[in-house]
Amino acid sequence: MSILIVDDDKMLCEMLTEYLTEESFRIESIHDGEEGLNRASSTPFDLILLDVNLPGMNGFDVLRNFRAASNTPVLMMTSKSEVVDRILALEIGADGYLSKPFDLRELLAHIHAILRRATPKGEGPANSIPAPARIVVGDVELDTGTRMVTCQGKQPVLTSAEFRLLEALLKNAGRLVSREDLTRVVLGRSSYPYDRSIDVHIARLRRKLDAVFPSGVDCIKTIRGEGYLYALLTPFKPDHALSTGTRGRDRMGVL
């Protein structure tokens, strides 16, 4: 498998290249943000290790531009450890976040976890049985072979985590899927107290689907304290709107 490292620390790149090459990865390194974006956009890689503090274009901007056209997994690396940076990385579309300095074994564990999630084989409500090649629910069509999603004739660009999240919800359409199950299936780990990672991914997925669904139709429902479900809704009609003017997500305690 191939990995692109985008980091201006050349000594670190050399160390990572040596270590990961011994782990049977093919490594290429770039030391500039804009050059890294161009390389990532023009050449297929299985994973990108992306530093935040880069010359020319910082890692957040690189990721933001890259996510407009690709769902290749991205692991952010930074010397900063602030929660706001981790949240921003997730909101932009990172598949993971690792603070420097880190142990090489920890990095390798993150890499393997992200690559496993890119082709999930775990247990849980979303993949306890072999997935069909196509999942169609209402106006949404998800192709597990090409990993493409079509909504209202449009194709939103989803990250690997967002694709797995939508797949889990569609395969359980009309049924509640707990946060714990979603965390295990989508992120490949158990949830921990005050873990909001799935909520961040849900928010980003909602925004992307809202951009292609008719006004007023919001299929991803939050069940307070429990999890999420993909609701089977009929097309929105103005004369059926609630008198309060709120959207479907506000009905009957479902957000």
Q: Per-block average pLDDT, block size 10, for the chain (255 residues)?
A: 93 93 91 92 91 90 87 85 75 85 88 77 45 77 83 82 89 90 81 80 88 74 90 54 38 34
Beta strand ranges found along the chain (DSSP E): 2-6, 26-30, 47-51, 74-78, 96-99, 134-137, 140-143, 148-151, 177-178, 220-223, 227-230
List the Cα angle 101/102/108 in 5-degree steps: 150
Using the 8-state DSSP alphabet, how is residue 6 labeled?
A: E
pLDDT (0 to 100) of residue 147:
77
pLDDT (0 to 100) of residue 248:
40
From 37, 26, 24, select the one nearest 72 (Cα to Cα): 37
pLDDT (0 to 100) of residue 253:
34
pLDDT (0 to 100) of residue 119:
60
pLDDT (0 to 100) of residue 255:
33
The Cα–Cα gap between 161 and 48 comes to 15
From 197, 160, 204, select the one nearest 182 (Cα to Cα): 197
Amino acid at 99: S
* Other Cβ atoms within 10 Å of 62 Cβ, number: 29
Which structure tokens are listed for 11? 């000594």
pTM: 0.54
pLDDT (0 to 100) of residue 5:
96
| Beta-strand relationship, 227-230 and 220-223 | antiparallel
Contact 98, 76 (CB under 8 A): yes
Contact 110, 75 (CB under 8 A): yes
Contact 180, 191 (CB under 8 A): yes
The Cα–Cα gap between 61 and 59 comes to 5
pLDDT (0 to 100) of residue 31:
94
Gyration radius from the chain CA atoms:
19
